[in-house]
Amino acid sequence: MIRQSQKNNTLVCVGLDSDLNKLPSSFRSSRQPILEFNRAIVDATADLVCAFKPNSAFYEALGSEGIAQLKATCDFIHTNYPDVPVILDAKRGDIGSTSEAYARYTFDYLGADAVTLHPYLGHEALKPFLQRGEKGNIILCRTSNPGAGELQDLVVEGEPMYKRVARQVVTEWNSNGNCLLVVGATYPKELGAVRQIATDMVFLVPGVGTQGGKVEDIMPEGIRPDGRGMIINSSSGIIFASKGPDFAERAQEQTNILRISINNYRPN
C-alpha cells in the first residue's frame, strides 16, 4: 500500500460496496452485473487510489454467485493492477479453528492482501491472520458508526476500550509488523488520541463523505509527519456518484477530488 500510495500520490481507498440494487439500470440484464460494474470503476480509478476495498456483505448476500463475482473482482484487480492492494472488508474474528478457515478463504481463495478484523476474542483467536506476515491485518479500534461508543468508550483500567485496543495492537499483536487500525473519520478527536498511541501505524479511515466525516477535520489528527499513515476510504460517494451512463467518469472525478482535497492537508 505504501508503494502504491507513493506512486499515485494518494491516500484514497475506493470501497467497492457494490449493492446490486444501486447499480445503474444498464447492468440489470448483465449475467455478472457486480463484476462488470466493478471492472468499470476499477479501470476508471486505479491510477488515483492506494487500495480497493470490497465489502464482503454485498457479495455474500447473493450467495454463490456473489462470492464468484467477489473472487473475480479480486482476480481482475490483481491481474490488471497488480500494485494496487485489495482489502477485504469482512470484519472477521472467531475461535482459532474458525479463524484459520476464514484466513484460508480470505487470503488463499480470494487472494486479498489485507482484511478487517475485530479484536473482541483476543490475540489467540486472530493468530491465523496475524501469522501471515505478508498480509495486512486491520483491527477495528474506533469505528465510524453512531453507536460505536456503546462499548468502545467503556473505561477499562483507566482508559476507553478503544485506546486499550490500540495499545494492545501496538505493543502485543504487531510482532510481524503487519497490523493496521480502523479509526473512523466521524470521530476526529478519537482519531487523534489513537495517533498518539500508534504513532507509526497506518490507519484505515472510513466514514468520509456520506457518513459525515470531513477531510479537514481528520487530517490534522491522523496524518503522520511524513504525510502518510492513513488510508482514507470512500465508498458510495464515489461508486454511486452517478447512476447514468457516465457513472465511471463521475467516480473518477470524485476520486480525484477527494485525492486533491486530502493532499492539500498533507505535509510537504
Catalytic residues: 91
Cell of 133: 506476515
Type of residue at 125: A
SS3 content of the chain, % helix, strand, coil (to 5): 50, 20, 35
Q: Which amino acid is at 24?
A: P
What DSSP character marks residue 141? E
Residue with cell 497488480: 82
Contacts of residue 97, Cβ cutoff 8 Å, sequence gap at least 6: none
List CB contacts of 86: < 8 A, sequence separation 6 or more.
Answer: 51, 52, 53, 54, 74, 77, 78, 110, 111, 112, 113, 114
* H/E segment holding residue 156: strand 155-156
Q: How far apart are the first and last CA of the chain?
A: 20
How far is residue 250's CA from residue 196's CA, in Å, rounded to a whole number?
Answer: 37
Indicate the helix (H) or strand (E) that contains 64: helix 64-80
Quote the DSSP letter at residue 211: T
Residue 121, C-alpha cell as written in the block? 476474542
Q: Helix or strand or coil: residue 262?
A: helix
